[in-house]
Amino acid sequence: MKKAANYIPKRSNMWNYEVIGPIEGDNWVVDLYNRTCSCRQWELSGVPCKHAISSIWLKNDEVLNYVDDYYKVDTYRKIYEASILPMNGPDLWPKSLNPPSFPPSYLNNKKKGKKQKLRRKEDDEPGDSRMKLKRKQKSVDCRKCGKPGHNNRTCSFSSDDIEIHSSDYLCGLDSIMVEEASSC
């Protein structure tokens, strides 16, 4: 009930209230006539929630009037008003012709442990039953020398071994220098 003091009810009509909580966006709708709250705690338990209690206080009504009847002593007395007759033990029960009922068997008989990834081969099948298949890789070619079987990092080819021939280029160095001089 102490938590109900943190909520501010705003009357909509005689029975309906909007309850605003201490945090922004903490709004609830309470219907005292139907005994419902949008938090659904009152409907599930039968006891008014903190939102409903704040609305009941605003109405100046008694909170105990809004508790469900099955929590009251009168209801308890009415339920147990009639006597409960004793009953014979199972030895004196009439015998049934139906087979006895057993607990249900478990539908998923999962085995314990890690799931096996490869199937086990039969004895007459060739190959190892636990053999793992290896990934097929294509040959690695080096970027420096272009030869297969190794990569850039493990290449023993040095850059000093590369010879630059002037015939490899379209124009020689002399023609480049002449063009630069003529542009000045």
Instruction: Encode pLDDT of 142-155 as tens digits.
Output: 888 888 888 888 88
Write down the pLDDT at residue 2: 79
Higher pLDDT, 157 or 46: 46
- Write out the H or E segment, with its range, that includes residue 73: helix 73-79
Write the pLDDT tens digit of every residue in 56-97. Answer: 999 999 999 999 998 999 999 998 888 888 899 988 988 889
Given a cut of 80, whether residue 139 has pLDDT beyond it is: no
pLDDT at 109 (0 to 100): 64
Does the pTM surpass 0.85? The reply is no
In this structure, the strands spanning 27-31 and 16-20 are antiparallel
Residues 6+ apart with CB under 8 A from 121: 127, 128, 129
Which of 125-134, 144-153, 162-171 has the largest mean confidence?
144-153
Please provide the average confidence, as pLDDT, over all residues in the chain: 80
What residue spans define the domains of the chain?
3-74
Q: Give the DSSP per-residue string, 34-61.
A: TTEETT-HHHHHSS--HHHHHHHHHTT-
18 within 8 A of 28, measured Cβ to Cβ: yes
